[in-house]
Amino acid sequence: MSVLTEFPATYSPLPLRHAGIAGLGMYVPEQAVTNAEIAKRVETTDEWIASRTGIRERRVTRPDEASSDLALIACRQALEDAQVDPAELDLVLCATATGDYVWPATACILQDALGATKAGAFDLSAACSGFCYGLATATGFIQSGMMEKILVVGVDTLTKHLNWDDRSTCILFGDGAGAAVLTPCAPDEGILSSVLRADGSGLKSVWLPAGGTRTPTTAETLESGRNCLQMQGKEVYKFAVETVPDVIQEALDKACLKPSDISLLVMHQANIRILESAARRFGISMERVAVNVDRYGNTSAASVPIALRESAEQKRLKRGDIVVTVGFGAGLTWGANVIRWNRDY
């Protein structure tokens, strides 16, 4: 008999210490591009974009601005909010699909710029689910006792990978960064549960076909637009509406909580109709749903932490509140975290 099968079925490990969010930060580029401005370039209208997606404008980086420039500002704000010195960090974890370079990791650029002299650093690739994946990963490191202080940043500059002549995608995305500092916290507070899922058979539902080792960049890939984001919008919409409620319910079950316990639902901001659909399914009023898709569009890995920071600034986060974060996107990937908020804002 193996060692594992000798444990009784009811065996549960000793309670692990918890990890909580000690500080939050965000940054979006200065330049706002309205729907009306996009309508000057492609055949669309402000009315079509606003009614189908909820988006009114998005922020776009300058040509000389890269993902780490945005992330660095968000990281510094989160560290200040948490009153953590960069030199105390054990890890810089950057969730991004749009790193400064193909390699090395953007997290290493941040580690150096911040002066996180005793931290490890790596990037995590889970597209729009990246921040939720990052929270789960950082929680594991802290719960196990391996690390104490971790900076998780979600950043994307997808506007650099858009075909601005493709009206089915160029209207949707914006750039931004959001960061959180995780530290050990009291039992029963902080991240109570995480659920991560993937379905790689949906690879081509939303992807960037060329520029990797499968299809390196050539004059032909550039000419045919394969170095730009491509998406089957309807497929992704259906996937999101189906999977988001299930993953929220699963994460709540793991934390022994119910939908009515949710104080604030912080979902990936892809389309207001996806947010409304999930809220309806759980009977949650839109007052308890964080929304920034109207002002920033889909900022990929940054949307959830930006919404968290804005909720903190709006004094919508109180100690003891149950906050549920949800990500979904390319991969396909999706996931959720249930958090009992462990500080007042």
Q: What are phi and psi of 137, to 5 degrees?
A: -65, -45
Cβ at position 55, least distance to ligand UT7 in Å: 9
Nearest-10 crossing angle of helices 67-82, 303-313: 40
Q: What is the DSSP string of 281-328?
A: HHT--GGGB---HHHH-B-GGGHHHHHHHHHHHTT---TT-EEEEEEE
Closest to ligand UT7 by CB, 40 or 315: 40
- Sign of the C-alpha dihedral, residues 197, 143, 311, 151? negative
User: Taking CB under 6 A as the rule, does residue 68 contact ligand UT7?
Assistant: no
C-alpha 182/C-alpha 25 separation (Å) is 12
- Sign of the C-alpha dihedral, residues 33, 153, 236, 282? negative
- Tell me which residues in 269-308 interact with ligand UT7 (CB under 6 A): 270-271, 298
C-alpha 28/C-alpha 311 separation (Å) is 15
Q: Which residue of 32, 48, 56, 197 would you call a contact of ligand UT7, by CB under 6 A?
A: 48
User: Taking CB under 6 A as the rule, does residue 129 contact ligand UT7?
Assistant: no
- Tell me which residues in 254-273 interact with ligand UT7 (CB under 6 A): 270-271
User: Taking CB under 6 A as the rule, does residue 197 contact ligand UT7?
Assistant: no
Closest to ligand UT7 by CB, 50 or 73: 50
- Token duo for residue 295: 């002002």
Cβ at position 244, least distance to ligand UT7 in Å: 10
User: Taking CB under 6 A as the rule, does residue 119 contact ligand UT7?
Assistant: no
Stretch that binds ligand UT7, among 46-54, 85-93, 102-110, 210-218 (CB under 6 A): 46-54
Report the interface residues with ligand UT7, using CB under 6 A. 44, 48-49, 52-53, 128, 167-168, 171, 206, 233-234, 236-237, 240, 270-271, 298, 329
